Chain A
Amino acid sequence: MAATSSPPPHDRDTDVSQLATAARDGNRFAFQQLVTILEPKIFRMIFYRTRSREDAEDICQDVFLKAFRSLKKLQQPERFESWLYRIAVNRVKDYHRRQKFRSLFSVLNDNDNEEDAQAEPPGERNGEPIDAIVRKEFWQKVQTMLGQLSKMEQEVFLLRFLDELGIKEIAEVLHKSESTVKTHLYRALGKFKNDTAFRAFIKEAQP
């Protein structure tokens, strides 16, 4: 899938800032335009961390609703995008907290599901579309690679290289100093760099 074309960064940033100002001043159409521009990025960002389309859709709705309802508090419209990412990062953390909480009470259920999965005839899984298998394998490999990183290293790595945020923006989103972000980023990238198996996998997967 080719990356979608977008206007030059400067123009886009200016657009977002102007639209955020208008939206804060009560222009609903401006907010809807912000949604059109930023929803694909925010949805992907959430999906990278939940790996569930439906959950990502729910959280994405939640993020924009929260942003819409808190617009009046936005003092620096030029930081709207960072603010949105911050809301999204927090909502994803909430999501994982809830998942963890639910998992405490669903051990029996999980065992049942595992049995069901084992009982599933192999033909069913073989019938899965190739695309879905490839996607699943890709995310499993990504998960294994990320598993070597601490939580903070994972977050800065994803924000920097998958969500394409700058170090200053990441610092704003995570509420950390730039030097802290850099420290975690260098460590994370060092681990990625040394994971030759994963790097070989992504080279093979895409010509």
Chain B
Amino acid sequence: MSADVANHLSEHRITRIVADDDAMHVSERNHLAQCDSCRKAVSALENDLERLRRQAVKATPAPERHFVLPAARSERHRLSRRRWRWAAAGSVLSAALLAIVLWVGDNNRLPGISPTTLPVAAVEDPAMIKAQALAVNALPPAYLALSESLDGGYDRGFIDFLIPPLDDDSMS
């Protein structure tokens, strides 16, 4: 071919054309159509990149585990609601017990006895302590959701606490 050697595409232009086909000007397209040397330079680079891509695919093992959808939302919610019902029942029960104990204590108080001693005794009641522990330990829904996720391990959570993970939602 007899394209003008002085007008050969620069290395820089060849790189741009291979990186982004849209970056090619009409004059460059015309030059490539005529010039063997530049066409070879472009296709050599393209071929090496294609070889790299194919070899990368070849050098990648097949996954042994595949993604499986978690249980249906309605089922999870039903379980979650049940847990919440128990937690709520625990809280109501403990509040009622506390109210009864305070009321009884108030009515049975003998003259001259400090009013603080009876509630303390009531709080030391094992049933009361258990009911309060249930109420205090009930996790809010956000924590329940976290415990159902795959990445709820202590180690990872601890690291994420120290270095917060990146946000994925900005482009959704």
The proximity string for A residues 181-206 relative to B, scoring 1 for CB distances below 8 Å and 0 otherwise, is 01001100110110000010011011
> How many chain A residues touch the partner (CB < 8 A)?
63
Q: A75 CB to closest chain B CB, in angstroms? A: 6
**Do A206 and B51 form a contact, CB below 8 Å, given A3-B57, A62-B151, A134-B59?**
yes
The answer on a CB contact under 8 Å between B61 and A142 is: no
A10 at the B interface (CB under 8 A): no
The answer on a CB contact under 8 Å between B59 and A189 is: no
A160 to B14, CA, bound (A): 16
Report B-chain residues with C-beta under 8 Å of the C-beta of A94: 160, 165-166
Q: A90 CB to closest chain B CB, in angstroms? A: 4
B52 at the A interface (CB under 8 A): yes
A90 to B12, CA, bound (A): 31
Report B-chain residues with C-beta under 8 Å of the C-beta of A98: 156, 159
Interface residues, chain B, with chain A CB atoms under 8 Å away:
11-12, 14-16, 18-20, 22-23, 45, 48-49, 51-61, 63-67, 69-70, 72, 149-151, 156, 159-160, 162-163, 165-172
Report A-chain residues with C-beta under 8 Å of the C-beta of B156: 98
Interface residues, chain A, with chain B CB atoms under 8 Å away:
1, 3, 28, 31-32, 35, 39-40, 43-44, 47-48, 53, 56-58, 60-62, 64-66, 68, 70, 73-76, 79, 82-83, 86-87, 90, 93-94, 97-98, 101, 134-135, 138-139, 142, 160-162, 164, 167, 172, 175, 182, 185-186, 189-190, 192-193, 199, 202-203, 205-206
User: Closest residue to A29 on the B side, CB-wise?
Assistant: B69
The answer on a CB contact under 8 Å between B48 and A203 is: yes
